[in-house]
Amino acid sequence: MKKHNFSAGPCILPQQVFKEASSSILNFNNLDLSLIEISHRSADFVAVMEEAVQLVKELLEVPSGYSVLFLQGGASMEFLMVANNLMKVRGKAGYLDTGSWSSKAIKEAKLFGDTQILASSKDKNYSYIPKDYPIPSDLDYFHCTSNNTIFGTQIKAFPITDVITVCDMSSDIFSKKIDVSKFDLIYAGAQKNLGPAGTTLVIVKDEILGHTGREIPAMLDYKIHITKDSMFNTPPVFPIYVSMLTMRWLKENGGVSWIEKVNQQKADLLYQTIDHSSIFEGSANIEDRSTMNATFLLTNTELEEEFNKMCANGGINGLKGHRSVGGYRASMYNAMPLESVQVLVEIMNELERKG
């Protein structure tokens, strides 16, 4: 029996995608060759890249004037690419600090110029999303993190700005409808909701590039990757292919509006269980709770051993919280069926009865 995989990343992908991806390794498109041994310039792989880009545009309704890239180096590479491509020489940027990933992005940006923290929830161990902070109009760009994978908080209403807006959407991209036109640059490491680790999706408005006065190394220059259709150097063919399969799966099932409903059902079920329980407690501020990563604790830590045992027996994988929060974290990415959350909730209720 396949386990119920609540891992935060790398994480669950649709079973159908695992099957198709496996067979592509042995024999891709009936070429009698593996996907990973053919040229990335072959018609068969170019078609994969084109379909992947097309699916991103379709599923997220990307307006014209934006480019879609599949790069390498993870979301962590984007922390420095963003600053490198958008921060002017002697320029300044503003960041919203909502967790470990935001602070890592801030640390990289500081290498490039004046990096201001406009608001932070560090005072309460990142358990909430700051709201109503000013965003100065003389910034080169504003950066935020839509979903805080580690702390289990998520931005529900993005601030309105008149500066270039950049968002790290690594852990909630494709989980709900977004208005891409409200952003100038979106990036997401694939391994949270899209595919295996090894590629990073970047959606960037073309007109924001090329205005910094900086010299940018080729591999870090979005403009070069755009000109070369993400094939400036050898692209990570397998992660891009699997991401494409995952997007096909999403489209076949009804797209982002379908998955948004499923994700809400899963999150509602788990949070209701936490809130009705006398032994579990949510870690994040209720109005800022993430639909993707639910963080919670056992109020009586003596029950931990029993709960861990029951989870293991029930086939629950990856529920341990990040060390900076402790407790538990249930990551309920797109590919997780409602049934897996039902299994977890039954175990939580059973522990409550035993109490």
Asked if omega into 10 is within 30° of 0 (cis), the reply is yes
With 0-12 / 13-18 / 19 or more C-beta atoms within 10 angstroms meaning exposed / middle / buried, residue 343 is middle
DSSP 325: T
> Which residues, other chains included, contact 323 with Cβ-Cβ below 8 Å and sequence gap of 6+?
none
Among residues 97, 168, 172, 184, the one annotated as catalytic is 168
Min CB(264)–ligand PLP separation in Å: 20
Residue with smaller CB distance to ligand PLP, 178 or 347: 178
Residue ranges that bind ligand PLP, judged by CB under 6 A: 9, 74-76, 101, 145, 149, 168, 170-171, 189, 192
Contact between 85 and 212 under an 8 Å Cβ cutoff? The reply is yes
CB 314 to ligand PLP: min, Å: 26
- Helices 74-86 and 100-109, axial angle in degrees (round to 10): 40
CA distance 238 to 226: 20
Our CB check for ligand PLP shows the closer of 172 and 345 to be 172
CB of 173 to ligand PLP, least distance (A): 10
Active site residue 101: yes
Of 140, 172, 184, 192, catalytic: 192
Whether 249 sits among the annotated catalytic residues: the reply is no
Give catalytic status of residue 138 as yes or no. no
Tell me which residue has its CB nearest to ligand PLP: 74
Select 277 or 291, whichever has its Cβ closest to ligand PLP: 291
Among the options 97, 101, 205, 288, which is catalytic? 101
Taking the complex as a whole, the smallest distance from the CB of residue 147 to ligand PLP amounts, in Å, to 6
Nearer Cβ to ligand PLP (75/242): 75
Structure tokens at 277: 């329980």
Angle between helices 255-276 and 237-253 (to 10 degrees): 80
What's phi and psi for 249, nearest 5 deg? -60, -45
Please list the active-site residues.
101, 168, 192
